[in-house]
């Protein structure tokens, strides 16, 4: 085993090594804040060959943000040049790449480097991170920004590997395969499917959308920003800030409709969605099939102007018969129909990475994170786990929003981590470790609230674990989370001196 790369922790602790795992929004945002604080002893580990996370991996036709771009970008790196209200994936990736260049983060990046194990050395107060090529890096603080929706989930459908045509997942789009004039099937009707379907419908000969559950869809009202608007936003940054604030507070205002188990409130949103359905689809029988049978908000709300309208096209079929089997020629449904296909797109979502440790992580006393999370993933304010000192998770348990930009949460977490790092540096601490009691109290409150939330009201979604518990979403307003989480409170942590 070699130990190249990171400097050894210094005597005075001032410039100790910091490891960031993952070069998506969370990792890049943390790196920028470290740079701004004059801290340069950090390394970003990324298993892929480029930065970007979600926005590197998802390149399917139509892939775009479903949160307005002025909110889905860092408040500390506002972008007046977004070309449209909801930027496409390539533009978001370009934004992140631009930040890497602007903040000169390239020298800090270790691409193609996967961390496969992490082990805390209590005497040294450092984490030993082992990479896939058996190198070991030592860091005093680790910021894990590995994301929760990363690895494609393949559906457990009989015969899936026997398909004779092209088969790929939305997050692994095969751009070498030309879908023009082909018979294409899409399995799934989630956030990825609603973007793919209208984008490829005009291009393919025949599109069959296999729907297991209908989804609530709201109008997106996407539009391009004119050159005038972009110039005005660039010239008057206060306008950009106001635009961001207005969009953010609108989403918060609508929040209770989306996250509370309050049928009267969500009923208003349901009415809006049904009006959108009526405006998009004439045929009442088709509308019936596209109408969800669960409460608005129970699954992630989809945002699209043209998804429902796609089914009005002659070459697009909505298949609601359950899938029996995938055969070499296509998809066989339970009514005995064989839907012959040249390509099958799996818009079937992701294996939820939040439920388990992303790789074996061993904290104090050699205890593994998976062991600590046997009854579900929990973390104090979604970031710190008792027994795992100086390890901070971004976008961790119970920090996902159902109604607004995830980056509002991420920015608060980055602030918390920055304050923790400053505290460790200032006081020459070996480590800080969240107290079990603080973690338990916090999570008790979070889980108590869950019974008022819509997510357990009778639908099946990635939000819920197998036992029906919710360790994914934050049950409340983002503003409230920010107020709780952005400050690092040393009193909630054991502080161990060198
Ligand atoms: P998803 O929401 O988990 O949807 C997966 C779809 O596949 C569902 O419709 C599901 O049906 C269906 N499915 C899964 N297994 C199946 C099977 N065996 N047979 C038939 N159908 C099956 O996945 P996603 O659309 O990729 O979205 C995942 C998350 O990624 C979103 O919730 C969102 O957080 C994020 N995302 C964001 C954006 C954005 O614009 N920002 C875009 C895409 C994704 P059921 O509904 O019946 O389970």
In a domain, 262, yes or no: yes
Domain boundary among 312, 346, 380: 346
Cα–Cα distance, 241 to 74 (Å, whole number): 11
In a domain, 67, yes or no: yes
C-beta 473 within 6 A of ligand 1:
no
Q: Which atom of ligand 1 is nearest to the CA of 349?
A: 23
Q: Which atom of ligand 1 is nearest to the CA of 155?
A: 18
Phi and psi at residue 306, in whole multiples of 5°? -125, 5
> Beta strand 42-45 with 18-21: parallel, antiparallel or unpaired?
parallel
Q: Which domain holds residue 340?
A: 160-224+255-346
Domain boundary among 346, 364, 392: 346
192 C-alpha vs ligand 1 centroid, how far in Å? 6
CB atoms within 10 A of CB 406: 20
Closest CA to 349 of 475, 239, 186: 186
50 and 117 inside one domain? yes
Closest CA to 173 of 144, 152, 203, 194: 152
C-beta 323 within 6 A of ligand 1:
yes
C-beta 59 within 6 A of ligand 1:
no
Where would I find the beta strands (DSSP E) of 223-327?
Answer: 302-303, 316-319, 323-326
> Beta strand 126-131 with 136-139: parallel, antiparallel or unpaired?
antiparallel
294 and 176 inside one domain? yes
Instruction: Give the chain's domain count.
Output: 2
CB atoms within 10 A of CB 66: 17
In a domain, 243, yes or no: no
277 and 306 inside one domain? yes
332 and 400 inside one domain? no
484 and 463 inside one domain? yes
DSSP structure class, residue 67: S
How crowded is the C-beta side of 56, counted as CA atoms within 13 Å?
17
**Long-range residue pairs from 212-215, CB within 8 A, at least 24 positions apart, any chain:** 212/188, 212/322, 212/323, 213/189, 213/292, 213/293, 213/294, 213/299, 213/459, 213/460, 214/189, 214/289, 214/290, 214/291, 214/292, 214/293, 215/189, 215/190, 215/292, 215/299, 215/302
In angstroms, the Cα distances linking 361 to 144, 319, 364, 394, 430 are 11, 44, 10, 16, 19
Domain boundary among 346, 363, 385: 346
Ligand 1 pocket test, candidate residues 190, 325, 354, 406, most atoms within 8 A of CB: 190
114 and 26 inside one domain? yes
Phi and psi at residue 298, in whole multiples of 5°? -60, -40
Cα–Cα distance, 72 to 78 (Å, whole number): 10
pLDDT digits (tens, 9 = 90+) for 374-388: 999 999 999 999 999
In a domain, 214, yes or no: yes
C-beta 193 within 6 A of ligand 1:
yes
112 and 198 inside one domain? no
265 and 356 inside one domain? no
pTM, rounded to two decimals: 0.95
User: pLDDT (tens digit, 0 to 9) for every residue of the chain, 498 residues total?
Assistant: 333 334 444 444 467 999 999 999 999 999 999 999 999 999 999 999 999 999 999 999 999 999 999 999 999 999 999 999 999 999 999 999 999 999 999 999 999 999 999 999 999 999 999 999 999 999 999 999 999 888 999 999 999 999 999 999 999 999 999 999 999 999 999 999 999 999 999 999 999 999 999 999 999 999 999 999 999 999 999 999 999 999 999 999 999 999 999 999 999 999 999 999 999 999 999 999 999 999 999 999 999 999 999 999 999 999 999 999 999 999 999 999 999 999 999 999 998 777 789 999 999 999 999 999 999 999 999 999 999 999 999 999 999 998 999 999 999 999 999 999 999 999 999 999 999 999 999 999 999 999 999 998 889 899 999 889 999 999 999 999 999 999 999 999 999 998
In a domain, 268, yes or no: yes
In a domain, 233, yes or no: no
Q: Which atom of ligand 1 is nearest to the CA of 86?
A: 40
115 and 32 inside one domain? yes
- Ligand 1, atom 36: closest residue by C-alpha: 191
Give me the CATH number covering residue 490: 3.50.50.60
33 and 140 inside one domain? yes
pLDDT digits (tens, 9 = 90+) for 254-294: 999 999 999 999 999 999 999 999 999 999 999 999 999 99
Ligand 1 pocket test, candidate residues 25, 167, 188, most atoms within 8 A of CB: 188
């Amino acid at each position: 085993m070699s130990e190249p790369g990171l400097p050894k922790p210094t005597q005075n602790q001032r410039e100790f090594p910091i490891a960031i795992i993952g070069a998506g929004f969370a990792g890049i945002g943390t790196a920028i804040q470290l740079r701004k604080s004059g801290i340069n002893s950090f390394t970003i580990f990324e298993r892929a060959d480029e930065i970007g996370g979600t926005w590197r991996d998802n390149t399917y036709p139509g892939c775009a943000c479903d949160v307005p771009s002025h909110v889905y970008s860092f408040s500390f790196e506002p972008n007046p040049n977004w070309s449209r209200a909801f930027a496409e994936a390539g533009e978001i990736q370009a934004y992140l790449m631009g930040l890497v260049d602007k903040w000169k983060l390239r020298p800090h990046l270790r691409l193609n480097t996967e961390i496969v194990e992490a082990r805390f050395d209590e005497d040294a107060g450092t984490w030993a991170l082992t990479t896939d090529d058996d190198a070991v890096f030592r860091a005093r603080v680790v910021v894990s920004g590995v994301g929760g929706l990363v690895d494609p989930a393949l559906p457990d459908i009989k015969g899936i590997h026997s398909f004779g045509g092209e088969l790929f997942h939305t997050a692994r789009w095969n751009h070498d395969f030309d879908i023009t004039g082909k018979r294409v099937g899409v399995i799934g009707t989630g956030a990825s499917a609603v973007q793919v379907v209208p984008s490829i419908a005009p291009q393919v000969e025949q599109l069959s959308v296999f729907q297991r559950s209908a989804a609530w869809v709201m109008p997106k009202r996407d539009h391009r920003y004119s050159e005038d608007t972009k110039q005005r936003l660039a010239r008057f940054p206060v306008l950009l800030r106001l635009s961001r604030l207005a969009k953010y507070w609108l989403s918060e205002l609508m929040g209770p409709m989306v996250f509370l188990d309050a049928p009267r409130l969500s009923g208003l949103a349901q009415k809006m969605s049904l009006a959108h359905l009526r405006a998009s689809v004439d045929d009442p029988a088709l509308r019936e099939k596209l109408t969800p049978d669960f409460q608005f908000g129970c699954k992630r709300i989809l945002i699209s102007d043209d998804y429902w309208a796609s089914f009005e096209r002659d070459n697009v079929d909505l298949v609601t018969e359950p899938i029996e089997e995938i055969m070499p020629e296509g998809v066989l449904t339970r009514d005995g129909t064989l839907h012959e296909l040249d390509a099958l797109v799996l818009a079937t979502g992701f294996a939820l990475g939040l439920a388990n440790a992303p790789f074996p992580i061993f904290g104090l006393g050699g205890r593994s994170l998976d062991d600590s999370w046997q009854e579900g993933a929990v973390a104090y304010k979604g970031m710190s786990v008792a027994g795992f000192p100086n390890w901070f998770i971004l976008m961790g348990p119970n920090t996902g929003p159902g109604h607004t930009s995830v980056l509002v949460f991420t920015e608060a977490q980055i602030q918390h981590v920055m304050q923790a790092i400053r505290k460790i540096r200032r006081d020459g601490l070996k480590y800080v470790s969240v107290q079990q009691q603080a973690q338990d109290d916090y999570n008790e409150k979070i889980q108590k609230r869950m019974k008022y939330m819509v997510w357990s009201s009778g639908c099946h979604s990635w939000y819920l674990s197998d036992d029906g518990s919710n360790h994914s979403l934050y049950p409340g307003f983002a503003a409230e989370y920010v107020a709780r989480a952005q400050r690092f409170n040393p009193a909630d942590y054991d502080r161990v001196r060198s």
